[in-house]
């Protein structure tokens, strides 16, 4: 009988819960500080967008990468909160009537459903500079010098911008009316979902002064995990119900080109598993054997919401 590996011992459920508590604390504090910056109605809408649940996967990846690269500051949750602020804005905008027109998100009413379209749009926009500020302050809080802090903020802005998430969303909107090839679908999601997920890891690694080969390996891990995540999102949209997802499945109704539509359910599921294998191999190639990173990659395809 072989002894269980560290990854088999690892309790991911407990890890995710503990880390999410830290992230939520940092996000609550960030939103408290933002109270003086935003008018009351806008602040309430932004708070709703940020503090209404969610898996907190991106900040958890950021904090994990930071520690794997030798980072020691407990204040890394403040830095990690920055990527979640960008994620929260993107979800609030993605749910708007002019986009996915969604009523539910994370089992609750969406921001525009509660506060109206105008407030949800402005609150989402207000979260973008708030995220940049959070990244800057978070980087300094964990002890980065100003050059590294600038790199961290740049990383976040590039991943969230037209060459990253916003660019991916633009391609996605266009794809609703056009026929998309398999490689175009990969590119779209590498930008829309992969860029921010990868930046989360890179930001954690940069803040811990990771050497270039480790940064590159985390980058490759992030790109594969990002694709696996999106393929799984499409599989869940096609197979799970609203109660499991915390939102109404919408890809079919919106006529979206998904991995399931292009490849079929089985091939899409195989693709997600293959990407997880690639992610793990990227880490192994540089001798990073971290149970949390391995377990997080598996979780991305095994999750049910």
Q: Give the footprint of ligand GRG on this chain (CB under 6 A).
A: 54-55, 57, 87, 90-91, 93-94, 106, 165-166, 169-170, 192-193, 230, 233
- Report how far Cα 116 is from the mean position of its chain's Cα atoms: 25
The SS3 assignment for 109 reads strand
Residue given tokens 């860029």 in the structure block: 195
- Name the minimum Å distance from CB 43 to ligand GRG: 20
Residue placing its CB nearer to ligand GRG in the complex, 69 or 258: 258
- Report how far Cα 221 is from the mean position of its chain's Cα atoms: 14
- Name the minimum Å distance from CB 204 to ligand GRG: 17
Residue placing its CB nearer to ligand GRG in the complex, 210 or 234: 234
Residue placing its CB nearer to ligand GRG in the complex, 53 or 211: 53
The SS3 assignment for 54 reads coil
- Name the minimum Å distance from CB 5 to ligand GRG: 27
**DSSP codes joined into one string, 148-182:** HHHHHHHHHHHHHSTTTHHHHHHHHHHHTTS---H
Residue placing its CB nearer to ligand GRG in the complex, 52 or 288: 52
Residue placing its CB nearer to ligand GRG in the complex, 54 or 71: 54
- Name the minimum Å distance from CB 86 to ligand GRG: 9
State how far the Cα of 112 lies from the Cα of 51, in Å rounded to an integer.
Answer: 15
Residue placing its CB nearer to ligand GRG in the complex, 69 or 169: 169
- Name the minimum Å distance from CB 140 to ligand GRG: 26
The SS3 assignment for 11 reads coil
- Name the minimum Å distance from CB 1 to ligand GRG: 37
Residue placing its CB nearer to ligand GRG in the complex, 190 or 210: 190
Q: Are 92 and 112 in contact (CB under 8 A)?
A: yes
Residue of this chain nearest to ligand GRG (CB atom): 54
- With the C-alpha atoms ordered 207, 210, 212, 215, is the resulting torsion angle positive or negative? negative
Tokens of 167: 């660019």
Residue placing its CB nearer to ligand GRG in the complex, 126 or 149: 126
289: region left, alpha or beta (phi > 0 left; psi from -120 to 50 alpha): beta
**DSSP codes joined into one string, 204-273:** HHHHTT--HHHHHHHHHHHHHHHHHHHHHHHHHHHH--HHHHTS---TTTTT---HHHHH-HHHHHHHHH
- Name the minimum Å distance from CB 78 to ligand GRG: 18
- Name the minimum Å distance from CB 12 to ligand GRG: 15
């Amino acid at each position: 009988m072989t002894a269980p590996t560290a990854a088999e011992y690892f309790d991911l459920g407990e890890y995710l819960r503990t880390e999410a508590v830290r992230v939520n604390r940092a996000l609550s504090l960030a939103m408290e500080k933002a109270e003086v910056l935003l008018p009351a109605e806008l602040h309430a809408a932004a708070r709703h967008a940020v503090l209404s649940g969610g898996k907190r996967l991106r900040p958890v990846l950021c904090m994990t990468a930071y520690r794997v690269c030798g980072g020691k500051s407990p204040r890394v949750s403040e830095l990690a909160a920055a990527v979640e602020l960008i994620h929260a804005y993107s979800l609030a905008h993605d749910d708007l009537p002019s986009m996915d027109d969604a009523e539910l998100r994370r089992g609750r009413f969406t921001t525009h459903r509660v506060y109206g379209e105008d407030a949800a749009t402005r609150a989402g926009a207000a979260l973008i500079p708030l995220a940049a500020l959070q990244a800057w302050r978070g980087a300094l809080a964990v002890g980065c010098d100003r050059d590294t802090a600038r790199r961290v903020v740049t990383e976040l802005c590039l991943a969230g911008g037209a060459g990253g998430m916003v660019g991916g969303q633009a391609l996605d909107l266009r794809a609703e009316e056009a026929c998309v090839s398999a490689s175009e679908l990969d590119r779209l999601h590498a930008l829309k979902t992969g860029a921010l997920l990868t930046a989360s890891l890179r930001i954690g690694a940069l803040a811990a002064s990771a050497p270039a080969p480790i940064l590159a390996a985390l980058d490759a891990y992030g790109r594969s995990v990002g694709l696996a995540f999106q393929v799984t999102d499409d599989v869940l949209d096609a197979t799970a119900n609203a109660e499991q997802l915390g939102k109404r499945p919408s890809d079919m109704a919106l006529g979206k080109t998904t991995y399931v539509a292009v490849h079929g359910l089985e091939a899409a599921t195989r693709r997600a598993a293959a990407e997880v294998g690639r992610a793990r191999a990227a880490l192994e190639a540089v001798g990073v054997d971290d149970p949390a990173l391995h377990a997080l990659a598996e979780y991305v395809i095994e999750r049910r919401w």
